[in-house]
């Protein structure tokens, strides 16, 4: 008989962002039990993690187990003892011939365990094994740990309760509805579970909650925000979108500030008018089905008004000083105990911008870039650092290149974020990140394992992205001269960027980097060529030959840089290869690969490198080395993985 299984872990409100990961983890843990099933469905709301599986067997299949007994030659007493232990008569024992002689044995039938028993035994450990980024205890010291307290448990296999207990909570067939619109205890079966929840104002399916919000947003021109939508899906059990408004006077404040207040502090969608300008409206998503009297709307409007008033107060207070007048205040803001204040950092950033080739406007932007750290606005909205500086710089009348550079200089915040929009911003961002990296590595604060408190990986990744996408003329390794561990750190980031972000094959990246990566825009150009070249039918065989050449040279311990002596060349394939080399030298490999490859093949086919005459041998090695060296500025082709 095949049975449905329902597990609901009822908890207090789980942080929204942890829920999808926890569900996936729960599914994997369940599958590890290896109980056969036809399908699994996972669902969750903030207050429940749910696993539903179909088609579980009532019991596991029976199995057989072979038990070896004493040797046939053993005394009868021992044989009888063995039989007794197995619960049978000695005459029922079989005899099996083995390499060591004949032995008594017995095939025992093992009845399959009931799925219910397996689940009852496994579930407490399984549930507590779900991985959360942070856990708590709630009963008493030493008690079980989970993301939030577990308050009820539903575990049903078919019609039967799978009995177990965690932290004093016993599994049963009672779920719980919406905190205020539903009943606290609701009897359910596996079949009516989802409907019963719906009756009590819980929409179990995240997809359905998402669709409900989407549909309700359809009439309003909101700024799309998929991350916010996900948050709202997992912070509600019965989401409903409502639209509110605010005084249009607040639209005089910078849009960035208004959107941040709505988005990050209030979890509202912001609304645009037909021309894409911010409208004096917002959309909130509440956890109840309706707001007929407008209580929720008016409440949210009042909160937003207070927050916008605060923002206006900050804006007006901050504007009493120009951004530049704030520069001395940075002496009181520590960047890092050993690396000094932000005033010190600013001076270093300015120096680096000059060193990288920045012009006076870039240096000006560098001077201003950290000044917003002392503003009330950034103290209140730390996520707007940089942006606020840019806005104040614009209000101070700084040139566009300067204010945009200040505005953008924390970018890119991640691999999908854009780099700063202008060259000054790119220089300042590079200099800021390089200063942090050089400084932190200099005092031994490198990232270890998953710990990277200063965000150094992200900073280095940002440097790589700006250099490549901005096509900046900077020789990275020269800038990092004398910082060997930082160079090695960057090698990983460069590799990561080209492999994971741009999708180059790892052997292409290794081959191209082996020919240098001081100039990243050049590295990118070579990689593009290499990738194109790879589709040529001559490429793989030639790469294989180059690998062979590399091996031969390595084995011979080849080091000398001696030129090829034409007099020592043997007529035929060797001579031909040398002449071909003479014709193609200096040309890009793309143009010559078709001509070169047959000559190389023929050479290896017909010529013995390891010639008996030492001078001939040396000369052949010199020829091979010359050939390899010819293309090495582009890539080390011997790093290419070939399939032949």
Partner 1 sequence: MQSFQDIIFTLKRYWADRGCIIQEPYDVEVGAGTMCPETFLRVLGPQPYRVAYVQPSRRPADGRYGDNPNRLFKHSQLQVILKPTPDDAIEQYLGSLEAIGIDLRKHDIKFEEDNWEAPTLGAWGIGWQVMLDGLEITQFTYFQQCGGIDLDLVPAELTYGLERLAAFLQAKDSVYDIEWAKGFSYADVRYRDELQYSVYNFEAADIPTLWKLFDLHEGEAARLLKLYDPKAADKRRFPLLPTYDHVLKCSNLFNTLDSRGAISVTERVGIIQRVRKIAVGVAQAWADQQQEAAQ
Q: Which residues make up the interface to partner 1 (CB under 8 A)?
A: 12-13, 15-16, 46, 134, 136-141, 143, 148-149, 151, 179-181, 184, 235-236, 266, 268, 284, 286-288, 291, 293, 295-296, 298-300, 302-306, 309-310, 313, 332-334, 337, 341
> Are the C-beta atoms of residues 521 and 468 closer than 8 Å to each other?
yes
Listed residue (29, 26, 21, 19) closest to 51, CA to CA: 26
Decide the pairing of beta strands 240-245 and 278-286: antiparallel
Q: How far is the CB of 283 from partner 1 (least distance, A)?
A: 12
> Are the C-beta atoms of residues 40 and 31 closer than 8 Å to each other?
yes
By beta-carbon proximity to partner 1, the closer residue of 154 and 494 is 154
By beta-carbon proximity to partner 1, the closer residue of 22 and 622 is 22
By beta-carbon proximity to partner 1, the closer residue of 243 and 626 is 243
Q: How far is the CB of 173 from partner 1 (least distance, A)?
A: 19
The two tokens of residue 136 are 């708590």
Count the neighbouring beta carbons within 10 Å of the beta carbon of residue 4.
20
Q: How far is the CB of 136 from partner 1 (least distance, A)?
A: 4
By beta-carbon proximity to partner 1, the closer residue of 214 and 338 is 338
> Are the C-beta atoms of residues 58 and 77 closer than 8 Å to each other?
no
Specify whether the backbone of 182 is left (phi greater than 0), alpha (psi in -120 to 50) or beta.
beta
Q: How far is the CB of 387 from partner 1 (least distance, A)?
A: 22
By beta-carbon proximity to partner 1, the closer residue of 151 and 421 is 151
Q: How far is the CB of 362 from partner 1 (least distance, A)?
A: 28
Spell out the residues 6+ positions from residue 30 whose beta carbon is closer than 8 angstroms to its own. Answer: 7, 40, 51, 53, 126
By beta-carbon proximity to partner 1, the closer residue of 40 and 242 is 242
Q: How far is the CB of 399 from partner 1 (least distance, A)?
A: 31
Listed residue (25, 3, 47) closest to 175, CA to CA: 47
By beta-carbon proximity to partner 1, the closer residue of 253 and 609 is 253
By beta-carbon proximity to partner 1, the closer residue of 19 and 350 is 19
Q: List, as one string, the DSSP characters of 432-460.
A: HHHHHHHHHHHTT---BTTB-TT-HHHHH
Q: How far is the CB of 313 from partner 1 (least distance, A)?
A: 7
- Name 41's bridge partners: 52
The two tokens of residue 283 are 């959309």
Spell out the residues 6+ positions from residue 504 whose beta carbon is closer than 8 angstroms to its own. Answer: 498, 527, 531
Q: 568-605 burial, b for 16+ CB within 10 Å, e for fewer?
A: bbeeebbebbbebbeebeeeebeebbeebbbbbbebbe
Q: How far is the CB of 322 from partner 1 (least distance, A)?
A: 20
By beta-carbon proximity to partner 1, the closer residue of 296 and 514 is 296
By beta-carbon proximity to partner 1, the closer residue of 259 and 623 is 259
Q: How far is the CB of 422 from partner 1 (least distance, A)?
A: 31
Residues 450 and 133: their CA atoms lie apart, in Å, by 13
Residues 449 and 429: their CA atoms lie apart, in Å, by 26
> Are the C-beta atoms of residues 494 and 520 closer than 8 Å to each other?
yes
By beta-carbon proximity to partner 1, the closer residue of 57 and 299 is 299
What would you report as the CA-atom Rg of the chain, rounded to the nearest whole angstrom? 36
By beta-carbon proximity to partner 1, the closer residue of 373 and 569 is 373
Reply yes or no: is the peptide bond before residue 8 cis, omega within 30 of 0. Answer: no
Q: List, as one string, the DSSP characters of 387-408.
A: HHHHHHHHHTT--HHHHHHHHH
Q: How far is the CB of 586 from partner 1 (least distance, A)?
A: 59
Q: How far is the CB of 442 from partner 1 (least distance, A)?
A: 19
> Are the C-beta atoms of residues 7 and 123 closer than 8 Å to each other?
yes
Q: How far is the CB of 150 from partner 1 (least distance, A)?
A: 10
The Cβ-side half-sphere exposure at 472, using a 13 Å CA radius, reads 28
Residues 545 and 553: their CA atoms lie apart, in Å, by 12
């Amino acid at each position: 008989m095949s049975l449905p299984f329902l597990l609901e872990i009822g908890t207090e409100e789980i942080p929204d962002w942890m829920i999808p990961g926890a569900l996936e983890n729960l599914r994997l843990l369940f599958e590890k039990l290896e109980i056969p099933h036809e399908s699994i469905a996972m669902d969750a709301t903030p207050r429940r993690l749910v696993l539903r599986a179909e088609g579980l067997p009532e019991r596991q299949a029976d199995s057989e187990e072979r038990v070896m007994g004493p040797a046939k030659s053993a005394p009868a007493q021992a044989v009888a003892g063995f039989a007794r232990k197995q619960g049978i008569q000695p005459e029922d024992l079989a005899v099996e011939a083995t390499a060591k002689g004949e032995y008594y044995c017995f095939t025992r039938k093992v009845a399959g365990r009931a799925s219910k028993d397996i689940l009852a035994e496994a579930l407490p450990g399984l549930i507590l094994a779900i991985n959360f980024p942070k856990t708590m205890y709630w009963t008493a010291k030493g008690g079980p740990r989970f993301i939030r307290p577990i308050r009820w448990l539903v575990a049903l296999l078919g019609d039967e309760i799978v009995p177990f207990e965690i932290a004093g909570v016993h599994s049963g067939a009672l779920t719980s509805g919406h905190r205020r619109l539903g009943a606290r205890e609701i009897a359910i079966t596996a079949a009516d579970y989802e409907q019963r929840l719906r009756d009590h104002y819980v929409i179990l399916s995240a997809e359905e909650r998402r669709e409900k919000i989407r549909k309700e947003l359809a009439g309003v021109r909101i700024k799309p925000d998929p991350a916010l939508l996900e948050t709202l899906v997992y912070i509600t059990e019965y989401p409903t979108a409502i639209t509110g408004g605010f005084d249009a006077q607040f639209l005089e404040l910078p849009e960035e500030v208004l959107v941040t207040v709505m988005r990050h502090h209030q979890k509202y969608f912001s609304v645009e008018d037909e021309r894409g300008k911010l409208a004096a409206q917002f959309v909130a998503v509440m956890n109840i089905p309706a707001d007929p009297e407008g209580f929720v709307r008016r409440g949210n409007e009042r909160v937003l008004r207070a927050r916008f008033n605060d923002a206006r107060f900050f804006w007006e207070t901050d504007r009493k000083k120009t951004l530049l007048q704030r520069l001395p205040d940075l002496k009181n803001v520590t960047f890092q105990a050993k690396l000094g204040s932000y005033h010190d950092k600013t001076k270093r950033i300015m120096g680096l911008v000059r060193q990288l080739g920045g012009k006076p406007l870039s240096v000006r932007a560098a001077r201003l870039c950290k000044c917003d750290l002392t503003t009330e606005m950034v103290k209140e909205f730390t996520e707007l650092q940089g942006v606020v500086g840019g806005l104040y710089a614009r209000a101070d009348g700084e040139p566009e290149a300067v204010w945009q550079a200040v505005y953008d200089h924390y970018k890119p915040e991640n691999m999908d974020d854009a780099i700063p929009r202008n060259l000054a911003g790119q220089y300042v961002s590079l200099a800021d990140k390089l200063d942090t990296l050089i400084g932190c590595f200099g005092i031994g604060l490198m990232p270890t394992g998953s710990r990277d408190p200063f965000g150094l990986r992200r900073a280095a990744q940002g440097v790589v992205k700006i250099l490549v996408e901005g096509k900046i003329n900077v020789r990275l390794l020269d800038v990092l001269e004398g910082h060997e561990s930082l160079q090695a750190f960057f090698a990983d980031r460069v590799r990561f960027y080209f492999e994971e972000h741009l999708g180059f094959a790892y052997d292409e990246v290794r081959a191209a980097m082996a020919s240098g990566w001081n100039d990243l825009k050049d590295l990118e150009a070579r990689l593009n060529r290499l990738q194109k070249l790879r589709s040529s039918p001559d490429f793989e065989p030639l790469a294989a030959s180059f690998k062979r050449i590399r091996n031969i040279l390595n084995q011979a311990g080849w080091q000398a840089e001696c030129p090829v002596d034409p007099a020592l060349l043997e007529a035929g394939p060797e001579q031909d290869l040398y002449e071909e080399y003479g014709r193609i030298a200096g040309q890009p490999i793309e143009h010559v690969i078709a001509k070169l490859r047959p000559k190389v093949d023929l050479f290896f086919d017909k010529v013995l490198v390891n010639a008996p005459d030492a001078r001939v041998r040396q000369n052949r090695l010199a020829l091979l080395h010359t050939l390899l060296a010819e293309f090495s500025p582009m890539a080390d082709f011997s790093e290419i993985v070939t399939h032949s």
